[in-house]
Amino acid sequence: GGRVRVQVHHRSFLEASPEQFQEVKAIVVDPTCSGSGMIGRVDHLLRHHSIGNSCGASRKRVAAIASFQKRILSHALSFPSVERVVYSTCSVHDEENEHVVADVLASNPEFVLMKALPEWQRRGRHGKGAKTKGIEVTNCVRADPVKDLTTGFFVAVFERRRGRNKGKRLREGEHGPQT
């Protein structure tokens, strides 16, 4: 393979200009989330799987967090040469996971969802309503703190469609960033 170069910048990701980072091929987006999947939090002991009770997160707070997550993820997809973007949270809320993915995919048709961690059993879910209709949420990964006996988390891998970027797409069999 090629060279891998990492640069660390201490600032808000939303301040990073895509034009300043023309050669960026991969981005990991691990934004602020409700933390509803975190084991060891005191409020986890009181958790029920409904959004109103999960880790004390109100619907209003989760909606605000999801809005921020959409901004961050959309910004990552705006980098001109980015080929792959990995989105992850430590949340169990559909609103921060599948709904964010569906909304961002709808406004970025040059990207598709790739199957994250193919060996992982628990996959993304459609949930209630038509929010995720037509989206391959089964390409996403979900871990449930109760069922999987681990921290709850979610992972989605976005890949730019062929011919839709200025950079080269990964060749068949070539592995990009490990997810």
- From the candidates 33, 55, 90, 140, give the one annotated as an active-site residue: 90
- Could you list the beta-strand ranges (E) of 22-135: 26-29, 84-89, 111-114
Q: What distance in Å separates the CA atoms of residue 73 and residue 7, rounded to the nearest whole number?
A: 19
Q: What distance in Å separates the CA atoms of residue 112 and residue 154, rounded to the nearest whole number?
A: 17
Instruction: Indicate the pairing of strand 26-29 with strand 141-143.
Output: unpaired
Catalytic residue check, 55: no
Q: Which residue has the tokens 């193919």?
A: 118
Neighbours of 134 (CB within 10 A): 9
What residues act catalytically?
A: 90
